[in-house]
Amino acid sequence: MIGLAFNLVERYLLERHDEAALVAALQASGFAEADPWLDALGYPEADFLRWAGAAAVLDGVGFDDFLRRLGRWAMPQLVRRYTLLTVAGRTLEQRIGDLYTIVLPQLRRVLVGLSGADFTIQYQGSGADLAYPSRGLLCPAIEGALTGLGDHLNAPLRVRHLRCAREAGGDCCSFHVDIPMPVAA
């Protein structure tokens, strides 16, 4: 999953800023010398911390806030690109139905495929719980992505970060997403 996050930071910088900002982040993070990370399939977390940290400085926010911003920016693009869901002409009830029947199950499959970890998503009434094994590095990005999902569906999802392994010293992170109206899952 770190590899995908590397690529998303690059795309974010190019879209939200420009190519000069990308070059500045590469230089600030120490990657301007075309280190082997550019060609590697395995992206070490330490390199990602340097890379995202440089992008956060460029954006003028802290690391966690940058990851939230990155997730919120990325999720609508990923949903449009990979699920081909349309929002126009659909009622809120239909969009929330899409969330339960298409988006959340597909999100779970993608995350499991990327990380090999077992992501669980449980639907209950007007909400959903998401949990996954983690050391907490990308928790803010997941939180932002869930908020971005609501942005894409034009449905005000409220995301509560219940537990972060980074803060609790555990090995699992979990969120609860309040969904604006109950639907049958």
* End-to-end Cα, the chain, rounded Å: 28
For residue 66, pLDDT over 90 is answered with yes
Domain ranges of the chain: 2-60, 88-178
Q: Where in 70-157 does DSSP place strands (E)?
A: 120-124, 127-133
Q: Is 85 exposed, middle or buried (0-12, 13-18, 19+ CB in 10 A)?
A: middle
Question: What's the confidence (pLDDT) of residue 127?
Answer: 85
For residue 145, pLDDT over 70 is answered with yes
Question: What's the confidence (pLDDT) of residue 169?
Answer: 67
Q: Mean pLDDT throughout 57-69? A: 93
Q: Where in the chain does DSSP place strands (E)?
A: 120-124, 127-133, 158-163, 172-178
Question: What's the confidence (pLDDT) of residue 154?
Answer: 85
pLDDT digits (tens, 9 = 90+) for 82-100: 776 777 888 888 888 888 8
Q: What is the DSSP letter of 177?
A: E
Spatial contact of 53 and 6, defined as CB atoms under 8 Å apart? no
Q: Give CATH superfamily name and number for 88-178.
A: H-NOX domain (3.90.1520.10)
Question: What's the confidence (pLDDT) of residue 141?
Answer: 84
Q: Is 166 exposed, middle or buried (0-12, 13-18, 19+ CB in 10 A)?
A: middle
**Residue 2 banded pLDDT, cuts 50, 70, 90:** low
Spatial contact of 13 and 58, defined as CB atoms under 8 Å apart? yes
